[in-house]
Chain A
Amino acid sequence: MKFIVSSSLLLKQLQAISGVLSTNNTLPILDNFLFELGDSEIKISASDLETTMTSRINVDMAEGEGSVAIPAKILLDTLKTFSDVPVTLDIDSDNFGVTLTAGEGKYKLAGQNGEEYPQVPAIENSASFTMESDILFEAISKTIFAASNDDLRPVMAGVFCELSSENTTFVATDAHKLVRYRRMDVKSEESANFILPKKPLTQLKNILSQDDAPVEIEYSETNAKFTFKNIIMTCRLIDGKYPNYTAVIPAKNPNKMTVDRQPFMNAIRRVSIFSNQSTYQVKFKIAGTELNLMAEDLDYSNEARERLNCHYEGDDMEIGFNSKFMVEMLQNLETEQVMLEMSEPNRAGLIIPVDSENKDEDILMLVMPVMLNA
């Protein structure tokens, strides 16, 4: 079999799916891209067994049918060096030797029988819903940072998706912080929920376009499948029960501070440089219309204080937060102002965007404090 394709088009598609390739594969054939040649179209896939991504591209000329696995690294490294030229891939159907011809160059590498490449599991008893590419992108970006890196609780190393006829909710938490991202404009006929692992979500985030192109999401008990443009991504879901996150969102928070987000975030960033570099603790002292930020690192005699204006309703308050968490959360919001709702110095603080222009979006972020000195 043989086909001719533009080097830049092929490279672009390979790069889009190459994020799935793992560096420590148990199956050596997974270090390859799978090429499946049809009439005037080829399907290329990359997989780590948990997640498989497939892209379809049109080729200029195709002869024969069949499939071959081609070593990913060599192919990517070679294609990267070309400016846009037509490349011919000629595959020997007996021994799966691959000959790549481009301009005056001829390169040979050993492929493997594509039949040996693991099959993508079929999704059985599935249901599906559709959302726009940019909305999915937002939902992933705004939640994934809060998911856990601890392998102790596998369910928390993913993003929980809750579908209903009214809205769709995405939740991530590592027990220190939590994000609930809800879309009123994404609805499903059936109520369902599942946990998507971080890795495929990160891949999606990297390649989803920032437009309203539809993404079809099919899900079953065990797998999910994302179809958009010329790409299909299938991934295994995280097995297990997601913790009851609604129970930890405090309902009564009498102390409410409203502050300009950007100056607030910049101040925390600056003060944080002077904080203890293991706790990143920044003290918030709120009274009247003033927010005082304070950080210190006793070991190095570093200390920083900064004062900001805010609007505050509630009792005077002193509460500590991990500045890294705070900045991560504020960074993922867009409104000019944010509200920080609190009850006690040892209870969760809530961060809520104020006057969001996007009425279809409902964001709630929650962060547990750091204990201050008694």
Chain B
Amino acid sequence: MDAFYASVEQRDHPEYREKPLAVGGGSGRGVVAAASYEARKFGVRSAMPGALARKKCPELIFVKPRFEVYKALSRKIRDIFFEYTDLVEPLSLDEAFLDVTHPKKGKNSATLIAREIRKRIDEELQLKASAGISYNKFLAKIASDIKKPNGQYVIKPEQAAGFIESLPIEKFFGVGKVTAEKFKKLGIHSGKELKEASREKLRKHFGKHGMFFFSIARGEDLRKVDPQRIRKSVGAENTFSSDLLNATELDQALEDICSELYRRLVKAGILGKTITLKIKYHDFIQVTRSRTLLLPMQTEKEILQLSRELLHQHREPEKPIRLLGVTFSMLEKKGILPGKQLRLDLTF
């Protein structure tokens, strides 16, 4: 979907149409969750602090996010997808992979199906979507960015090599800010240079992921469109209205975060073995510390206790903290967990 949250707001509020608009980021310290195309012209981007966005675009309109509405729309969009194939792998609320090798209906052409789906989203929901079409997930994702907004693009096998070579390293799947820096230090800035790197070099510096980079640099991506791709993590975090330093206040804040996290875990019916605490200090320097247990954590008390230990062991006591977050990974589904080893309730 193109500027999904912002487009929904512009659709529902005619007065916002064709105006620079940001969803979220309106309050003192929040960040922009989505920016309309009009706002993007001013350099407003998602994840940008609200204050900075306002500086870049003084007439920017801030609206509060309405996640329930976006979620409901996301479900409607997915229902449309499911009419064409069962192989739908959502990436987020507004993005998904579809495998239409054997479509349930419509013409046996990915290009035509993409056009039809986009048309239906426009007619039925009055929203614009873009599509990328290719022979694997990596290239389809790249293609989807090319004719944005409201367009679609096909990368054919014979074009793949050229596309990949010209691609800046940041655009590769699995390359974030940190990995991009690492690549640049190794003198790899583009797909072309990535392709020239040896398998050994990539393995040495990136381990298992190195092998993946080696393959995608050659346009090889054998990952399936997996409709049941399981969640890898569940988390909760909070940016405080003012920075916290006092241990009691931090403990209280952590308690709120853990109880929200626990609620989410229970709702999703999952348990996790790895707990990660994220601390962002007032100067935006961020650290994460994690710990993995042999068996999944089960009680809210246990989660809170571990997060507190992580916090107090690792925080720099003089530095005010802006944000705390707790994330669970190495998840196990609760439902398939008869066979769960119970623990003694020892008090320390």
Contact = CB atoms under 8 A, between A and B. Distances in A.
A243 B348 contact: yes
B346 A244 contact: yes
Contact of B340 (A175, A243, A366, A371): A371
Contacts of B252: none
Contact of A279 (B294, B306, B341): B341
Interface string A136-180: 000000000000011011010000000000000000010110100
A155 B347 CA distance: 12
Contacts, number: 60
A374 B294 contact: no
Interface in A340-374: 346, 348, 366, 368-374
Contacts of A348: 344
Interface of B: 291, 293-294, 306, 337-348
Contact of A173 (B294, B342, B346): B346
Interface centre among B337, B338, B341, B346 (most CB of A within 10 A): B341
Interface centre among A175, A320, A346 (most CB of B within 10 A): A175
A373 B338 contact: yes
A368 B338 contact: no
A247 interface: yes
Contacts of B343: 175-176, 368
Contacts of B346: 173, 175, 243-245, 247-248
Contacts of B291: 152
Contact of B348 (A149, A241, A276): A241
A234 interface: no
A248 B345 contact: yes
Contacts of B293: 150, 152
A322 interface: yes
B339 to A, nearest CB: 4
A150 B306 CA distance: 14
Given A149-B294, A152-B306, 13 more contacts: A152-B293, A173-B344, A175-B346, A243-B348, A247-B347, A248-B346, A279-B339, A279-B341, A348-B344, A368-B341, A370-B341, A371-B337, A371-B338
Contacts of B347: 243-244, 247
Contacts of A276: 339
Nearest to B346: A243
Identify whether the interface residues of A are mostly helix, strand, loop, or mixed. Answer: loop
A249 to B, nearest CB: 9
B339 A371 contact: yes
B342 A368 contact: yes
A281 interface: yes
Nearest to B294: A150
B309 to A, nearest CB: 9
A180 B348 CA distance: 18
Contacts of A369: 342
B340 to A, nearest CB: 5
A352 B122 CA distance: 72
A374 B337 CA distance: 11
Nearest to B345: A248
Contact of B341 (A149, A176, A178, A243): A176
Contacts of A281: 339
Contacts of B341: 176, 279, 322, 368, 370
Nearest to A368: B342
Contacts of B338: 320, 370-374
Nearest to A275: B339
Interface string A4-17: 00000000000000
Contacts of A173: 344, 346
A257 to B, nearest CB: 19
A241 B294 CA distance: 22
B344 A370 contact: no
A369 B346 CA distance: 15
Nearest to A245: B346
B332 to A, nearest CB: 10
A244 B346 CA distance: 7
A370 B342 contact: yes
B344 A175 contact: yes
A369 B338 CA distance: 11
Nearest to A177: B344
A279 B341 CA distance: 8
A71 B82 CA distance: 71
B344 A346 contact: no
A203 B293 CA distance: 27
Contacts of A366: 344
A370 B294 contact: no
B144 to A, nearest CB: 38
A182 B337 CA distance: 36
A270 B348 CA distance: 38
Given A152-B291, A152-B293, A371 B342 contact: yes
Contacts of B348: 153, 155, 241, 243
A31 B342 CA distance: 42
B291 to A, nearest CB: 7
Contacts of A322: 341
